[in-house]
Structure formats: structure tokens, C-alpha cells
């Protein structure tokens, strides 16, 4: 599997240091159980078809993202919130994703507190996506 120095979301390059935070926090199998009126346990199970969360998260010491990329991500989320985008991780894995249906699919804080940050100023960001 080929590796790269960055992840890509469509044409946007995201830092490789942004880690897939919830990679193993999701199960493909959905189960529910309840008791019938006779007292028998009824278990319903199905395989999920989509919706796996892919949360890319930077940290205070890794995965900093430039302000210009954040602005491009925000514009993409605003203009095409339910459209599909190809995410390619730095390790070569690819996923069809869209921005997660949450109030804040993109969150970011500057590394320091600049008064007028330039386009290349670093931020610690979280980008919430779901596989479709």
C-alpha cells in the first residue's frame, strides 16, 4: 500500500498528522433485543450499509492545518454538504464520504492567538465525515 505525506479530500490536502480518531469505535452490525409478550427474547440484527464515522483530528503537537485549507473545507461543506467526496488517507485507503450531519462538522482553534492570521497560519482542527 502506497503512502503519502498527506490525506486528500477531493482536491484538498489535509495533514497526514490528522489521525482517524474513531476508526475502531464503530460496528458494522446493529443489534437490538427485546422481550416478547410470551417472555421470549427477540434479537434483531442487521449489517449497516453506510454511516461509518471518519473523524480526522489534529492535536497540539501534530496534524496542524493551514487556515487557507480550513477556509476551503468550510466553503466545501457549505456549498456541498450532502454531496459525496473522495477521501484518500495517507496510507492509500480511499472512502466515499460526506460531511457528518452534526452542527459542527469542522472545528478549529489557532495554535496561538494571532491578531490577523495569514493563510498559512497553523490550526488544530477536527473534521467530521461519514462514509456513504
> Which pLDDT score, from 0 to 100, does residue 80 have?
79
**Cβ 118 vs Cβ 89: under 8 Å:** no
Instruction: Select from 71, 62, 74, 73 the least CA-distant residue to 21.
Output: 62
pLDDT tens digits, the chain, 132 residues: what are they? 667 899 999 999 999 999 999 999 999 999 999 999 999 999 999 999 999 999 999 999 999 999 999 999 999 999 977 789 999 999 999 999 999 999 999 999 999 988 889 999 999 999 999 999
C-alpha cell at 128: 467530521
> Which pLDDT score, from 0 to 100, does residue 115 have?
87
**Cβ 117 vs Cβ 106: under 8 Å:** no
Distance of CA 27 to the CA centre of its chain: 16
> Which pLDDT score, from 0 to 100, does residue 129 have?
97
Beta bridge partners of 19: 57
Question: Which pTM value belongs to this model?
Answer: 0.87
Longest CA pairwise span in the chain (Å): 68
Domain limits, the chain: 6-131
> Which pLDDT score, from 0 to 100, does residue 1 have?
61
Cα angle: 98, vertex 87, 19; to 5 degrees: 100
Q: What are phi and psi of 75, to 5 degrees?
A: -65, -40
How many helices and strands (H and E) does the chain possess?
A: 1, 11
Distances (CA, A) of 11 to 27, 38, 67, 73: 29, 57, 16, 10
Amino acid at each position: 500500500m502506497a503512502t503519502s505525506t498527506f490525506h486528500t479530500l477531493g482536491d484538498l490536502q489535509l495533514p497526514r498528522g490528522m489521525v482517524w480518531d474513531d476508526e475502531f469505535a464503530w460496528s458494522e452490525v446493529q443489534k437490538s433485543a427485546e422481550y416478547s409478550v410470551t417472555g421470549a427474547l427477540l434479537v434483531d440484527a442487521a449489517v449497516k450499509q453506510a454511516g461509518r464515522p471518519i473523524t480526522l483530528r489534529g492535536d497540539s503537537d501534530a496534524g496542524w492545518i493551514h487556515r487557507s485549507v480550513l477556509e476551503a473545507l468550510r466553503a466545501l461543506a457549505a456549498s456541498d454538504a450532502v454531496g459525496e467526496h473522495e477521501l484518500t488517507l495517507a496510507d492509500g485507503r480511499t472512502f466515499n464520504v460526506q460531511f457528518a450531519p452534526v452542527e459542527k462538522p469542522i472545528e478549529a482553534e489557532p495554535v496561538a492567538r494571532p491578531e490577523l492570521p495569514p493563510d498559512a497560519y497553523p490550526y488544530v482542527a477536527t473534521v467530521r465525515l461519514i462514509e456513504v
